[in-house]
Structure formats: structure tokens, C-alpha cells
Amino acid sequence: MTGVAQYAALSRRAILNTFRQPTAIVPALMFPLLFLAMSSAAFERSIALLGFPQVDSFLQFVIAATIVQGALFGAVAAGADMATDIEGGFFERLIASPVARSSILAGRVMGAATLGFFQALLYFGITIVFGLDVAGGVAAMFLVALTAGVLAAGIGSITVAFALRTGSTEAVQGSFPLVFVILFISSAFFPRELMGGWFKGAATLNPISHMIEGLRFLVIEGLSASKFLTAFGISAAVLVVGLALAGGALSGRLGSRA
Amino acid sequence: MLIPRVPSTFVPSIVMPAFLTVAMAGAFSGLVLLPGFPAAKALDWFIPMTTVQGAAFAGITTGMGVARDLESGFYDRLLLSPTSRSALLAGPLVASVLRAVIPLVLLVLIAVVSGATFAGGAAATLATLSIASFGMALVAGAWSLGLALRFKTQQAAPLMQSGVFLVVFLSTAQMPIDYLTGWLHAVARVNPMTNVLGLAREGFLGAVTWDGTWPGLVSLAGLSIATIAFAGRAMTKVVP
């Protein structure tokens, strides 16, 4: 089997694995939508506040955050799947086979990226039915989905690294609250202009705020190269860090076996 | 005994409400600028909700503990022992209420340190908040116990949590009833949790009055009766 075929086969396995586990995928898909439905109905009147961006609806303001939320939640599943492979012994069989070590990581990361990308398009499809207007059109939706896919790959890499270090599904799922914290201490659900005190400072320091604000601009105002590159650059940076961590963790696990 | 021995079942009921208090009061601090918003600070609006939610999640740990005992077979021994079913029902429910003391104390401390407004006076505010919290711990405990006895597995935990999450958030958890729009406004109007949160918030938003108190008490009584009946029915059917 060639190197490319190895990458393709393990990526395909991870993607199918992701989509065949309704217990893992449905909460990651449905919870952000449920939260979106509730927050849109709850905070609709807040868009009249002075300092709130000019939007048609709270739905238009918050859809970018919902997409990022879905990508983050779904990415945790990549790490959990890797831990399951370790616990179940499949990882040992992969290591014993003549596959490239990097393809083991690539498979899981591709699974997370694919879920993040298509989940974003699904969210757009559903919310457009409920009246969402995307100022940047189809191109903006594609760019937002692309960024979400890269972010999902990045967070997926970090959770895969955690799985390789601990070898425990429970420990990986225990990292979920960290994702929750990163998202909530940001401008994901309310504009920074209307925050105050230390929370505003923390949200400003959080790169997730700047990523979501970049994506939000594409939805509210229209296409902008600088806003997209800011959002995409942050996602890509997360991916680079995640891959470095996952690579180190894989080396560590292989080294401990030697 | 689950609290010190299985912290993973209980810690989330302390950590999550504390985090949600910080996150919601911080992120949505600008909401108080809305004309007619009933609270002077976002903290006054959100901390009663997160306290009640924390108490409810503390109550759920009872059901999770029973589910664990059912899986391990320990509960079979309880069922075969000369213990009345009513004692097996009442014991975990009392534990649910007692467990709610921990998040309640923690969040009251956060409220004091963060400068929450006890507009109705400290004693009356704490009294109404405590009644709402202990009541919801009982309701959530009975709900989770009923599910544990029916499903006999810890895999029912997400169902226990989702039920409480939905009841809380499909109410005035995030915004006052007059600010809610569309379907959420309609659901929150008939959701008894709206009255329970009204009871919990009463002292943070103004004076504690009988008119502001009785709807919450009636709602708690109704929810308690319904969920205890749900658990009691499951208890009569469970066999070793």
C-alpha cells in the first residue's frame, strides 16, 4: 500500500467512524442548534442596544459562534475515538502494521475537519430556512465552513494528543469543559462593546473572540479578505499547535513501547 | 458518601454553576442597559438561576448514584433486605436536598464577594433562594431517581441532565418574560420553572412579598408531586 493510500484509508475510516456513531455526533450537532434556538428567542431584543452591531436579528449575530461551538464540540470526538482505539487494542495493531505513523494522526484529524466543515454548511442550511441572511452569500458560507473545518482539525489534534498521552476515553471527555470555558469567555455570544471590567479584557485576549468576530463580519457585512484571513489564521495557528502536540504525544507513546 | 468517594459525579454540580455565573454575568453585563430591565447588575439576574441550576444538578447525582448501585448489583441487596420501598425512595431524596447545600453556600459566597444586591434584605433573599434551590434539588433528585430505576444504567445520566437543562433554559433563565420573543415566550409562560426562578430572584430584584412568593411555592409543589410520583411508580415496579 502506498503512502497516499495509507493516508486515504485511515482518513476514510475515521470519517466513517465519526458519521456512524450517532451517540457521539448527534449531541455535538444538536446542542449548538438548541442553544442557538433558545438564545435567538431570548436575546432578540438586545440587538436594539447602543453598541450592538447593526444586524437583522440575533440569529445573524450568533450563527458564527454556533458554527464554532459545533466544530469545537465535534472535535472532542476525534480524541475520544483515538482513546477508544487505544483502549480496544486497534492502535497496537496499527503500530504493528507497516503504515506511516503520521497517517494515524492524519486520519483522525481529517475526520474532525470533515465533520466541522459539513456541520457548518448544515447549520447555514437550517438557519437560512428560519430567515438567516448571509451578507457575503455562498462564498462567505464556504469560507466560514472552511475555517470551522480547520479549527475542528486543530482542536481535534489537541484532543488526539490528550488521548495519546492518557490512553483514556474518560480523560479525553473530561477535557470537554475546557472547550466550554474557551468559548464562553469570549465575544461568541455577545459583543465585546457591551462587556465590562476584567471579563472584557479576558475576552479581548481570547483569540477565539477575534476568530468569531472575523467570521461574523462575513455573515453580517459581507466578504472581507482581512477579516477572513484573521479568522482563518487563528484556526490555522491552532492546527499547527495541535499537530505539534499530537506529533509529540505519538512519539512519546511509541517511545514508551520501545 | 458519593461526594468524597466519587468526586467526578459531584464536582460538575459545583464547578459548572460557578463558571456559568462568571460567564453569563460577564458576557451579558450589557443587558441591564435595556429599558426596564429588572436588575441593576447582570449578576443579580443570573446568580439565582445558576444557584437553582447547581442545586438541581446536585440532586441529579442521587439518581446517578442509584444507577451506579443498580449496575454493580448493590441495589439488588437493598431490594432484598427488609427495608421498605418508601425508605428506599425517601432516603435518596433527602440526600438530594442535603447535597444542594454545597452549591448553595458556594454561590451565595460568590454573590457576596461579587457585590450582588440583596435588595429584599439578606435574610429574606437567602430564604427565598434556599427554598427554590432545595425545592429544585428535590424535583431533580426525584426525576433522576425515576429514570435510574427505569433504565438501571448510568447511561441514563445524559437524559437526567438534559431534562433539567431544558426545564431551566426554556424559562426566564436568560431574560425576563417580557423580553422573550416567539416560541420561547410562549413556552416560558407555561413553564413552572419561570415561577421557581421568580421565587429565587425575588430578593435580588426588590422586596420579598407574598405575591412574588406564592407562584414559586405552588410550582415547586406541583413539580415535586409529579416527579416523586414518577419515581415512586418506578420504585414499585423495580425487582431485584
- pLDDT-derived band at A78 (thresholds 50, 70, 90) equals confident
- What region, left, alpha or beta, does residue A97 occupy, with left being phi > 0 and alpha being psi -120 to 50 degrees? beta
- Return d(Cα A138, Cα B168) in angstroms, integer: 37
pLDDT of residue A3: 67
Low-confidence winner among A22-26, A150-154, A234-238, B108-112 (lowest mean pLDDT): A22-26
CA distance A28 to chain B (A): 13
The arithmetic mean of pLDDT across residues B188-210, rounded, is 97
- Return d(Cα B9, Cα B99) in angstroms, integer: 12
Residues B1-48: pLDDT tens digits?
Answer: 455 566 655 676 678 889 989 999 999 999 999 999 999 999 999 999
- Chosen from A44, A170, A212 to mutate, greatest number of chain B CBs within 10 A: A44
- Return d(Cα A81, Cα A92) in angstroms, integer: 14
- What region, left, alpha or beta, does residue A2 occupy, with left being phi > 0 and alpha being psi -120 to 50 degrees? beta
Please provide the DSSP assignment of B17-30 as one string. HHHHHHHHHHHTGG
Q: What average pLDDT does the structure give for chain A? A: 88
Nearest CA to B166 among A153, A34, A154?
A34
- What region, left, alpha or beta, does residue A31 occupy, with left being phi > 0 and alpha being psi -120 to 50 degrees? alpha
Query: Above 90 in pLDDT, residue B49?
Result: yes
Say yes or no for a CB contact (<8 Å) between B174 and A39. yes
State the cell numbers at B149: 430505576
Please provide the DSSP assignment of A203-248 as one string. HHH-HHHHHHHHHHHHHHT---HHHHHHHHHHHHHHHHHHHHHHHH
- pLDDT-derived band at A13 (thresholds 50, 70, 90) equals confident
The domain spans of chain A are 3-257
Residues A28-39: pLDDT tens digits?
Answer: 788 899 999 999
- What region, left, alpha or beta, does residue B177 occupy, with left being phi > 0 and alpha being psi -120 to 50 degrees? alpha
User: Any CB–CB contact under 8 A between A38 and chain B?
Assistant: yes
Helix (H, G, I), strand (E, B) or coil at A142: helix
Length of chain A: 258
- Return d(Cα A56, Cα A105) in angstroms, integer: 42
Q: Which residues of B touch A213 (CB under 8 A)?
A: none
Q: Which residues of A touch B115 (CB under 8 A)?
A: none
CA distance B154 to chain A (A): 14
- Return d(Cα B223, Cα B212) in angstroms, integer: 18
CA distance A2 to chain B (A): 42
Query: Above 60 in pLDDT, residue B119?
Result: yes
CA triple B138-B28-A124, angle to 5 deg: 95
Centre a 10 Å sphere on the Cβ of residue A49 and count the other Cβ atoms it contains.
Answer: 17
Write out the residues of chain B at the interface with chain A, using a CB-CB cutoff of 8 A.
8, 12, 15-16, 19, 22-23, 26-31, 33-34, 158, 169-170, 174-175, 179-185
Query: Above 80 in pLDDT, residue A171?
Result: no
CA triple B50-B56-B60, angle to 5 deg: 140
Residues B53-64: pLDDT tens digits?
Answer: 999 999 998 898
Comparison of pLDDT for A5 and B60, the residue scoring more? B60
Comparison of pLDDT for B138 and A86, the residue scoring more? B138
Nearest CA to A157 among A244, A46, A258, A27?
A244
Q: Which residues of B touch A50 (CB under 8 A)?
A: 33
Say yes or no for a CB contact (<8 Å) between B22 and A181. no
User: Which segment, A71-75, A179-183, B90-94, is predicted with the most confidence on average?
Assistant: B90-94
Assess contact for A73 and A151: CB atoms under 8 A.
no
The share of chain B scoring above pLDDT 70, in percent, equals 95
User: Any CB–CB contact under 8 A between A69 and chain B?
Assistant: no
- Quickly tell me which residue has 438530594 as its cell: B96
Which residues between 196 and 235 in chain A have a beta carbon less than 8 angstroms from any beta carbon of chain B? Answer: 196-200, 202-203
Helix (H, G, I), strand (E, B) or coil at B99: helix
Assess contact for A187 and A195: CB atoms under 8 A.
yes
Say yes or no for a CB contact (<8 Å) between A38 and B34. no
- Quickly tell me which residue has 450517532 as its cell: A22
pLDDT of residue B113: 95
- Return d(Cα A75, Cα A81) in angstroms, integer: 10
How far is C-alpha A160 from the geometric centre of its chain's CA atoms?
13
Centre a 10 Å sphere on the Cβ of residue B112 and count the other Cβ atoms it contains.
Answer: 11
State the cell numbers at A64: 458564527
pLDDT of residue A45: 93
**Cα atoms found within 13 Å of the Cα of residue A72, Cβ hemisphere only:** 23
Assess contact for A140 and A134: CB atoms under 8 A.
yes
- Return d(Cα A197, Cα A138) in angstroms, integer: 38
Query: Above 60 in pLDDT, residue A154?
Result: yes
- Return d(Cα A138, Cα A145) in angstroms, integer: 11
Which residues between 144 and 203 in chain A have a beta carbon less than 8 angstroms from any beta carbon of chain B? Answer: 174, 177, 180-181, 184-185, 187, 189-191, 193-200, 202-203
pLDDT of residue B204: 96
- Quickly tell me which residue has 454561590 as its cell: B107
For chains A and B, what is the number of CB pairs under 8 angstroms?
83
Whole-model pTM: value is 0.85
The arithmetic mean of pLDDT across residues A168-175, rounded, is 74
**Cα atoms found within 13 Å of the Cα of residue A196, Cβ hemisphere only:** 10
ipTM of the complex: 0.85
Q: Which residues of B touch A209 (CB under 8 A)?
A: none
Q: What average pLDDT does the structure give for chain B? A: 91
Assess contact for A133 and A60: CB atoms under 8 A.
yes
Query: Above 80 in pLDDT, residue B199?
Result: yes
pLDDT of residue A77: 79
Helices (H) and strands (E) in chain B, counts: 11, 0
The arithmetic mean of pLDDT across residues A3-14, rounded, is 72
CA distance B25 to chain A (A): 9
